Every structure is written in structure tokens, then in C-alpha cells.
């Protein structure tokens, strides 16, 4: 039986909080300089919606802006994030590498993320995650924009018969359930208790994944 564990990236494997706020602040500094934003950077609002696809982020943060301005802001934000990743200002969560190395001995590992391909590739390269993962899947690879459909693609393309989805938000938990996989919620930076209650298992440390029994 082909067993796999599918990981979310932001807030699950990668400590996005270390680069998110400064990158967002820099993006809104540009908007302010252009006269397109007044007031503080909406950090709290972004924390609330963390995990949704980026177009939804900008619709939520800047509802009065035109689509063109949102797309420009999105592109700038992506540049700022990748700069910080490549400068080594991010980090994986504690025990990530050791846990992944052990899990890879018994399971096929995949990443399924709402992040864009270029962003995910930067993280994979900097932290040499190709050592552990068979594939990285971005939300850009499916038309629907739904995490459940992305996980379904991972399952179908790799003939996965059983496994788990590890993530911090409701979209990860729902994707597991929609695809008859075990849902593992991680209680990290962006996680919300109301969402985690829907998970089959909730963990506070990635090394707890070593206790999983799949198949």
C-alpha cells in the first residue's frame, strides 16, 4: 500500500511569520508612497486570513483598489518575501529536518501549498527540501484554487492509497477529509483553535508526527 504524508508549507513547515510582517510592511510602504494607502499596515487582518490564496489576500486587504493595483501589490509582496527567504531570514519549524528525514524512510512526502510556485521553490532550494519531498505542488497548478482539489491532484498523480495531510488551517483539514486522509492540525503561529477542533489529531511539535500509524 502506497502511503504518503502531504504537508502545507506556510505556518506548518516554514515559519512564515519571520518574513511576513516586514515584507508586508515594505509593500504597504510603497502603496503609501504612491498615495494608495493611508494608515497602518493591516498586519492583524492578514493574520486572520493567513493561508488563503494571494488573490483573496489582496481582495480582503485592499477592497477599494483596482484589480491592476492588487496584482501589482501581489507581485511586489512576492518579490519582498523571496528576497527575505534567500537572505536566510526565515526558518523551518523546530525539529522539521530530523522529523522529515525519519518520515521519508517510511512514507512518500509531498508539499501542497496555497503559495505560488516561485515562492515555494525558493524555500525548497534554501532548505534543500528536495532531500525529503517527492514533489511540491502549488495552488497555481489547479484552476479551482481549492486546497482539496490540489491534494486530490497529489493523490491521483502519485497513486497514493492512504496517508495524512499536515497543516495549520481549515483548508488543510478540509482537504484531508475531502480526500479520505487523516487530518493533522499543527498548533503553530497562524493556527486557530476553532479550526483545529475539526482535525483528527492536533500536535504542538512536528516530531509528534513520528508517532503516526498510517495504513
Tens digits of per-residue pLDDT, 9-68? 999 999 998 999 899 999 999 999 999 999 999 988 988 887 677 788 899 999 999 999
Number of Cβ within 10 Å of residue 104's Cβ equals 15
Number of Cβ within 10 Å of residue 111's Cβ equals 24
Instruction: Tell me what pLDDT residue 171 has.
Output: 94
What's the CATH number where 153 sits?
A: 3.40.50.1000
Q: Which of 64, 86, 108 is the last residue of a domain?
A: 86
Q: Are residues 151 and 166 in the same domain?
A: yes
Q: Are residues 96 and 198 in the same domain?
A: yes
| 182 grid coordinates | 487523516
Report in angstroms the alpha-carbon separations of 161 from 97, 109, 179.
25, 13, 10
Mark the ranges of the chain whose per-residue pLDDT is less than 50. none
| 167 grid coordinates | 497543516
Check: CB of residue 70 under 8 Å from CB of residue 55. Answer: yes
Instruction: Tell me what pLDDT residue 129 has.
Output: 98
- 3-state secondary structure at position 200: coil
Taking the alpha carbons at both ends of the chain, their separation in whole angstroms is: 7
Q: Are residues 134 and 45 in the same domain?
A: no
Q: Which domain holds residue 176?
A: 3-15+91-211
Instruction: Tell me what pLDDT residue 50 has.
Output: 76
Q: Which of 40, 56, 86 is the last residue of a domain?
A: 86
Sign of the CA dihedral running 150, 162, 123, 15: positive
- How many structural domains does the chain have? 2
- 3-state secondary structure at position 43: helix
Residues 100, 110, 181: CA angle, nearest 5 degrees: 100
Q: Report pTM.
A: 0.92
Q: Are residues 164 and 175 in the same domain?
A: yes
Instruction: Tell me what pLDDT residue 48 has.
Output: 81
Q: Are residues 195 and 121 in the same domain?
A: yes
Q: Are residues 132 and 202 in the same domain?
A: yes
Instruction: Tell me what pLDDT residue 49 has.
Output: 82
Q: Are residues 101 and 197 in the same domain?
A: yes
Q: Are residues 7 and 37 in the same domain?
A: no
Q: Are residues 127 and 75 in the same domain?
A: no
Check: CB of residue 139 under 8 Å from CB of residue 167. Answer: no
Q: Which of 50, 68, 86 is the last residue of a domain?
A: 86
Q: Are residues 123 and 55 in the same domain?
A: no
Q: How many angstroms separate the CA atoms of 39 and 62, rounded?
A: 12
Q: Are residues 101 and 139 in the same domain?
A: yes
Q: Are residues 52 and 115 in the same domain?
A: no
Strands (E) located in 102-205: 108-113, 133-138, 162-167, 182-186, 201-203
Amino acid at each position: 500500500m502506497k502511503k504518503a504524508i502531504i504537508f502545507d508549507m506556510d505556518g506548518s513547515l516554514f515559519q512564515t511569520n519571520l518574513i511576513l510582517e516586514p515584507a508586508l510592511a515594505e509593500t504597504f510602504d510603497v502603496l503609501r508612497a504612491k498615495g494608495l494607502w493611508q494608515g497602518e499596515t493591516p498586519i492583524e487582518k492578514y493574520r486572520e486570513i493567513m493561508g488563503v490564496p494571494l488573490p483573496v489576500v489582496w481582495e480582503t486587504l485592499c477592497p477599494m483598489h483596482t484589480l491592476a493595483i492588487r496584482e501589482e501589490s501581489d507581485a511586489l509582496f512576492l518579490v519582498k518575501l523571496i528576497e527575505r527567504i534567500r537572505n536566510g531570514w526565515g526558518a523551518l519549524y523546530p525539529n522539521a529536518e530530523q522529523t522529515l528525514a525519519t518520515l521519508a524512510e517510511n512514507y512518500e512526502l509531498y508539499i501542497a501549498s496555497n503559495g505560488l510556485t516561485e515562492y515555494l521553490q525558493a524555500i525548497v532550494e534554501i532548505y534543500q527540501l528536495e532531500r525529503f519531498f517527492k514533489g511540491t505542488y502549488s495552488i497555481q497548478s489547479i484552476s479551482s484554487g481549492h486546497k482539496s482539489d490540489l491534494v486530490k491532484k497529489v493523490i491521483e498523480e502519485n497513486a497514493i492509497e492512504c496517508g495524512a495531510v499536515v497543516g495549520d488551517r481549515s483548508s488543510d483539514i478540509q482537504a484531508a477529509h475531502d480526500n479520505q486522509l487523516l487530518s493533522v492540525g499543527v498548533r503553530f503561529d497562524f493556527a486557530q483553535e476553532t479550526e483545529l477542533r475539526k482535525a483528527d489529531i492536533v500536535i504542538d511539535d512536528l516530531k509528534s508526527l513520528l508517532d503516526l500509524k498510517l495504513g
